[in-house]
Amino acid sequence: MQPKISVYIATSLDGFIARSDGGLDWLEHDSGKDDYGFYEFFGSVDTIVMGRGTFDFVVASGQWPYAGKRMIILSSTLTISSVPERLRGEVEILSIEPGLLAEKLAGEGATHVYVDGGITIQRFLRAGLVDELILSRMPVLLGSGIPLFGELDSDIALEHVETRIFDSGLVQSKYRRRDS
């Protein structure tokens, strides 16, 4: 059975997931306690897939909030010897197309895959593999940065499932693949 493949990500109103230098300061907010439903989402996930750029960012943060999940890093250049020792048992590094990865994960019993990081999300979208897109918009325009979305071979029509509003002004909409 195919696992469900989800994206859960926040952008500025103008569609950036980070400043050009990776900065996420604009995403912080006063209430502090609201996790925007992330804890619940994360609890439902058994596998995480991210690209090398996002992994490097996570490593640099010094934190590793992914314990207990299967973590796959998509990279054709990263080697396990260049992963910090404390994380070597935590990650698998694969160089594989999204479609083949989805098949592989299905065969290995994955049920819910969380795809993270701009380029990796774009690759999965372009391959038509994203079943669920949980998109949060912060009420700020940045003007420049790292965009969430990229080019596509054709339109992707989605179905709106629900929208939640948070005190910070964040608007979170959940979409699912429109069966065609």
Q: Which residues bind a copy of itself (CB under 8 A)?
A: 13-15, 26, 125, 135, 137, 139-144, 148-160, 163, 165, 169-171, 173, 175
Nearest CB to a copy of itself, comparing residues 13 and 80: 13
Nearest CB to a copy of itself, comparing residues 88 and 160: 160
* Closest distance of CB 17 from a copy of itself, Å: 12
Is residue 172 within 8 A of residue 134, CB to CB? The reply is yes
* Closest distance of CB 16 from a copy of itself, Å: 9
Burial class from Cβ neighbours inside 10 Å (0-12, 13-18, 19+) for residue 50 reads: buried
CA 4, CA 49: separation in Å to the nearest integer? 13
* Closest distance of CB 144 from a copy of itself, Å: 6
Nearest CB to a copy of itself, comparing residues 69 and 126: 126
* Closest distance of CB 9 from a copy of itself, Å: 12
Length of the chain: 180
> CA nearest 81: which of 72, 91, 95, 71?
91
Written in H, E and C, the secondary structure of 25-64 is: HHHCCCCCCCCCCHHHHHHCCCEEEEEHHHHHHHHHHCCC
Nearest CB to a copy of itself, comparing residues 34 and 103: 34
